[in-house]
């Protein structure tokens, strides 16, 4: 058990005066490559990380139709009637949810799970307490970890019997329609389907997955996360604007999604589009190809050979999609100068974290170089830690 498990259990007892029925947890994720391709029906290659969100949950035997949710990140719990969730959600596009945003994640899962059930009339009320050691706002999908832990608990306690992919869909619906964040399904699938020492090669159109061995430790390497501590929020404008540009580009090209545009189509796209729309499209099209290339390189040559693809991905996000920041660029450039095989920002951008693929014995040196560079630039000190590909959701107690 971790400190997050202890915190979730303690909060549950403080809120309810009793013990939870169980503790469920789900991981955050790092996206090795494939950024903003998920909502374009494209390809992604994430993996689950050791940092997890824990939900302490119990069915209620009083006030049968109510749900109480608390979090160590919030000073006050939120309590609503289960039947009221249908009034609270879905959240209008671009609007703030009708409850505090942190509460919209677990409550949105409860709402989406009830919506998906053939008969939710027998679903009892719930008490939920949440704690996490996934850094919030770092691009490591703390939101999907909340959704995964909550969905796993409710699936068991309500007896819905859904598989990991179905629960990932529940999480995405909660994020899209309860929180109002226009994200794709990559984060939820990575959190729900993670396995040790593997990345998840996901086709976001078909939701077909393939586990791709990474062998990071076996190759003598480590993956360093550099959390810039510049917070971001997917429900705000920059992410939404990028998605709108992608939808416009697909419409101009006459295809259902940018998944259907190839690198060979880019000259025609450039003739048809304004410069900004074209550069947004070019990022998605080339990033999809980079995911496919990375999977092939991993299979044929191993993880040591993917560094250049990570670097090219970051350049595309910086220049074409324009979602990087000075802090992220400093993290990537400094890690590469200090000997990283590859580095890139990870997550939705506008802040958050970068990852660097480095030699195991260079973790301290690269970390120190990045810390020194941030201080010299006048940035807040970054949070640095290594991650290993890890397991998906589970019941821990």
Q: Determine the Cα–Cα distance for residues 56 and 215; give it in Å rounded to an integer.
A: 33
Name the token pair of 55: 């939900």
Distances (CA, A) of 240 to 43, 243, 380: 20, 5, 27
3-state secondary structure of 317: helix
Q: Determine the Cα–Cα distance for residues 165 and 390; give it in Å rounded to an integer.
A: 17
Residue written as token pair 């061995």: 213
Residue written as token pair 């959190």: 191
Per the residue annotation, which of 187, 227, 320, 396 is the catalytic one?
A: 187
Cβ atoms 370, 335 nearer than 8 A? yes
Distances (CA, A) of 69 to 54, 88, 129, 326, 378: 13, 15, 6, 37, 39
**For residue 301, which phi and psi values (nearest 5 degrees)?**
-130, -15
Alpha helices in 159-226 (DSSP H): 164-173, 186-193
Q: Determine the Cα–Cα distance for residues 269 and 278; give it in Å rounded to an integer.
A: 7
Whether 83 is catalytic is: no
At CA 307, angle to CA 302 and CA 312, rounded to 5?
135
Q: Determine the Cα–Cα distance for residues 45 and 346; give it in Å rounded to an integer.
A: 11
Cβ atoms 360, 388 nearer than 8 A? no
Could you give the dihedral angle defined by the CA atoms of residues 349, 91, 257 and 144, in that order, rounded to the nearest 10 degrees? 50
| Half-sphere exposure for 108 (CA within 13 Å, toward CB) | 31
Please choose, from the candidates 63, 48, 90, 141, the residue with its C-alpha nearest in 3D space to the C-alpha of residue 347: 141
Neighbours of 88 (CB within 10 A): 18
Alpha helices in 124-227 (DSSP H): 142-158, 164-173, 186-193
Q: Determine the Cα–Cα distance for residues 124 and 239; give it in Å rounded to an integer.
A: 36
Beta bridge partners of 383: 227
Residues that are catalytic: 187
């Amino acid at each position: 058990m971790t400190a997050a498990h202890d915190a979730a259990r303690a909060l549950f007892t403080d809120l309810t005066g009793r013990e939870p029925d169980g503790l469920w947890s789900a991981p955050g994720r790092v996206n090795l490559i494939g950024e903003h391709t998920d909502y374009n029906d494209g390809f992604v290659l994430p993996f689950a990380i050791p940092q997890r969100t824990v939900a302490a949950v119990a069915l209620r035997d009083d006030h049968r139709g109510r749900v109480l949710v608390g979090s160590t990140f919030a000073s006050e719990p939120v309590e609503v009637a289960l039947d009221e969730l249908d009034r609270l959600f879905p959240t209008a596009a671009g609007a703030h949810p009708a409850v505090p945003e942190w509460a919209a994640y677990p409550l949105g899962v409860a709402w989406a799970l009830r919506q998906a059930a053939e008969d939710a009339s027998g679903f009892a009320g719930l008490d939920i307490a949440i704690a996490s050691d996934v850094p919030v706002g770092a691009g490591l999908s703390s939101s999907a970890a909340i959704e995964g832990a909550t969905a796993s608990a409710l699936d068991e306690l309500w007896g819905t019997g859904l598989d990991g992919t179905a629960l990932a869909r529940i999480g995405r619906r909660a994020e899209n329609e309860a929180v109002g964040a226009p994200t794709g399904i990559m984060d939820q699938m990575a959190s729900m389907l993670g396995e040790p020492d593997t990345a998840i090669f996901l086709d976001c159109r078909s939701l077909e997955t393939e586990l791709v061995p990474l062998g990071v430790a076996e190759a003598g390497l480590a993956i360093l996360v550099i959390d810039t501590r510049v917070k971001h929020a997917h429900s705000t404008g920059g992410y939404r604007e990028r998605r709108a540009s992608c939808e416009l580009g697909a419409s101009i090209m006459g295809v259902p999604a940018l998944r259907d545009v190839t690198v060979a189509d880019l000259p025609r796209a450039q003739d048809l589009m304004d410069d900004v729309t074209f550069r947004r499209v070019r990022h998605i099209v080339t990033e999809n190809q980079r995911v496919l290339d990375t999977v092939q390189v991993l299979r044929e040559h191993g993880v040591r050979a993917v560094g250049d693809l990570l670097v090219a991905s970051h350049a595309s996000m910086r220049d074409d999609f324009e979602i990087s920041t000075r802090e992220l660029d400093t993290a990537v450039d400094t890690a590469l100068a200090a000997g990283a095989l590859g580095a890139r920002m990870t997550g939705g951008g506008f802040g958050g974290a970068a990852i660097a693929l480095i030699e195991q014995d260079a973790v301290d040196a690269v970390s120190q170089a990045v810390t020194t560079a941030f201080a010299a630039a006048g940035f807040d000190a970054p949070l640095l830690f290594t991650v290993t590909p890890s397991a998906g959701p589970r019941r821990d107690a």
